[in-house]
Amino acid sequence: MASAPFIDLVAPNGVKYAQPTGLFINNEFLLSADGSSVDSIDPATEEKIATVQAASVADVDNAVKAARKALKGPSWKLLSASDRGALLYKLADLIEENRELFATIDAWDNGKTYLEALENDLVEAVGVIRYYAGWADKVFGQTISTTHQKFAYTIRQPVGVVAQIIPWNYPLSMATWKLGPALACGNTVVLKTAEQTPLSILVLGTLVKKAGFPPGVVNFLNGLGNVTGSVLVSHPLVDKVAFTGSTATASAIMGAAAKTLKNISLETGGKSPLIVFEDAEMEQAVKWSHLGIMSNQGQICTATSRILVHERVYDEFLAKFLETTKSTSKVGNQWGKDTYQGPQVSKAQYQRVLDYVNIGKGEGATLAFGGEPLNINSNGKGLYVSPTVFTNVSPSMRIWQEEVFGPFVVISKFADEDQAVALANDTTYGLGAAVFTTNLERAHRVAAEIEAGMVWVNSSQDCDPRVPFGGVKQSGIGRELGEAGLEAYTQIKAIHVNMGNRL
Ligand code: NAD
C-alpha cells in the first residue's frame, strides 16, 4: 500500500505543522485502497482544513490483520507489563510536549475554544495516559485455595484485537480514554476517528511511532460510520468493540457484534438532570448548572440539560441563570480569548439544534432565551447558534426527553423531593445527574435514588481519570476510567492445579 502525504498547514492562530493524511496502519500512513477520503471542515468558517484518507473494506481488513499479528508478535506479547507502562508514560510525555499543537488542531477541527482544548482536553488526555501507564504492571490475578491437594489461580489476559470508535466532541481525549486502558492491559487496537474530527488522532499516530510502540499495536482509521465503522465492528478477527457515541449507533453496533458474540462496552447519550433544592447555595447552583450545559458548545454527553428547580426558588434561579447566560456565553470563533462558546461542530449539528428550537416552540414550551442562528462572520458563514433556554416544559415533550447535544437547556419546577426524583428518572437515559442542596442527608439520599452512572453533589461535569465513568439504562454498558476501566480490556482465565497425585 502506498504512503499518504503529510501536508503543511498553518492554523488560524499561526501554529504551523505537518498534518498526516493517511490511514495509520503498522506505524505507517497509507493511502486508502479505493481512493476514498473525508474532508475536515473548520466550523467557524465552513472552509476545508484538509482531506484525509478513508478506510475501505480492504483497509479495515489490513488494519485488523496488522493488529492481530502484533497481538501475537513477540515485541508486544513478550514485552513486560512494566515496559508497556513505560511506553505509555513516553506517549503521555510526548502529548504533553505537543499540547499547544493538539489544542490548536482540536479547536480548529471541532470548533471548541482553544483555551478549553488546552486547559481541559489536553490536561485530561495526558492525565489519562499517565494514569493507565501506572496500572500496566498492577493488573493481577488471584490465588484461590480450594481443597487440601488443589488450588486455583487466575490470570488477567488481554481481550485481543479491540475496535474502538470515538465521537467528535473531545477528539483527542476520547481517544486517550480508550487507548490508555486497552494498551495497559496488552491489547492491540484499531481505532476509528469521528469523520468530523480526524486530524489530531492522526498526529497522535506520529507520537505512537515515536514513543516506540511496535508496528500494528495501534492503528487509526478515518472514515464514515456506516462504511468504515460498520465494517470494523463486523470484522471476524475483532474480539471486542468499545464505542462512544449516540445510543442509536450503539444499538446498531450491538446488533453487528452479536453475530460473532464480540465483547462490547458502550458509552452513549444522555439527558442528564440537575436538581436544585430550596436550600441550595444559589450562586453555586447557577454557576455549575450554566457550565453543565453551556460549556464545550453544549456538546457534552453528560451535559446537565434538564434543570429541575424547587418551586420556592424557581423564579430566583431562572432570573440568575438567564443573567449568567447573557453575560457569560459569548459566542465567537475558537481563537478569541473571551469566547465562551464556539461554533457547532458540523452543519448537521447546527441544524439539529435549530430543529429542536422549532420542536420546542411547536410543543408549546416558552423560549426564554436564544434559539437563533448567529451571524458572526461578515460573509454569513460559520455554524453558530445562540445558547438556548426553554421553560414551561413538561415530561411529555420531546425537548424534555431527547438529547439535543448543543447549548440547549430545559428548565422546570418541582414541589417536593419525591417529585424531583421521579422527574429526574423519567427518561430512557441514565448517564450523569447533579444535586444541589446544603442538606447532607438529602444529598446522599437523592444521589442514591437517581438512576445514573454518575452523580455530582453541588457540582457538575467533574471528571477524573481515577473515577469510573459510564451510564445505566440506555446510556451505556460498562465503565471507562478508574480501576473499573480495566475490566473492559482484560479477561480472567482460571487455572486449576492439582499439587499431588493421590486424589
Ligand atoms: P454517532 O453515534 O453518530 O457517531 C459516533 C461514532 O460512531 C463516529 O465515529 C461514527 O463514525 C461512528 N459510527 C456511526 N455509525 C456507525 C456504525 N453503524 N457502525 C460503527 N460506527 C459507526 O455519534 P456522534 O453524533 O458522533 O456523537 C454524539 C453522541 O455521542 C451523543 O449522543 C453523545 O451523547 C454521545 N457521546 C457519549 C459519550 C459518553 O461517554 N457517554 C461521550 C461523547 C459523546
Say whether pLDDT at 103 is over 70: yes
Note whether 122 and 31 are same-domain residues: yes
Taking only the tens place, the pLDDT of each residue in 376-421 is 999 999 999 999 999 999 999 999 999 999 999 999 999 999 999 9
- Strands 240-244 vs 263-267: parallel, antiparallel or unpaired: parallel
Note whether 250 and 283 are same-domain residues: no
Instruction: Please give the distance, rounded to the nearest whole angstrom, from the Cα atom of residue 424 to the centre of ligand 1.
Output: 24
Note whether 405 and 256 are same-domain residues: no
Q: Which amino acid is at 472?
A: V
- Ligand 1 lined by 194 (C-beta under 6 Å): yes
Task: Give just the sign of the alpha carbon dihedral 28, 210, 89, 91.
Answer: negative
* Minimal-distance CA residue to ligand 1 atom 8: 194
> Is 13 a member of any domain?
yes
Alpha-carbon span 358 to 486, nearest angstrom: 43
Note whether 45 and 106 are same-domain residues: yes
Coil, strand or helix: which one is 165? Answer: strand
Catalytic residues: 267, 301
Note whether 251 and 339 are same-domain residues: no
Q: Which three three-digit cell numbers place residue 483?
A: 480501576
pTM of the predicted model, to two decimals?
Answer: 0.97
Number of domains in the chain: 2
Taking only the tens place, the pLDDT of each residue in 328-368 is 979 999 999 999 999 999 999 999 999 999 999 999 999 99
Note whether 280 and 391 are same-domain residues: yes
CATH number of the CATH domain containing 409: 3.40.309.10
Residue 26 burial class via C-beta count within 10 angstroms: exposed 0-12, middle 13-18, buried 19 and up:
buried
Note whether 361 and 241 are same-domain residues: no
Reported as a pLDDT band with limits 50, 70 and 90, residue 100 is very high
Taking only the tens place, the pLDDT of each residue in 164-208 is 999 999 999 999 999 999 999 999 999 999 999 999 999 999 999
Give strand ranges (E) for 298-374. Answer: 306-310, 366-369, 373-374
Say whether pLDDT at 302 is over 80: yes
> Is 420 a member of any domain?
yes
Give strand ranges (E) for 175-305. Answer: 188-192, 218-221, 240-244, 263-267, 273-276
Residue 380 lies in domain: 273-462
Taking only the tens place, the pLDDT of each residue in 108-129 is 999 999 999 999 999 999 999 9
CATH number of the CATH domain containing 172: 3.40.605.10
* Minimal-distance CA residue to ligand 1 atom 10: 225
- Ligand 1 lined by 298 (C-beta under 6 Å): no
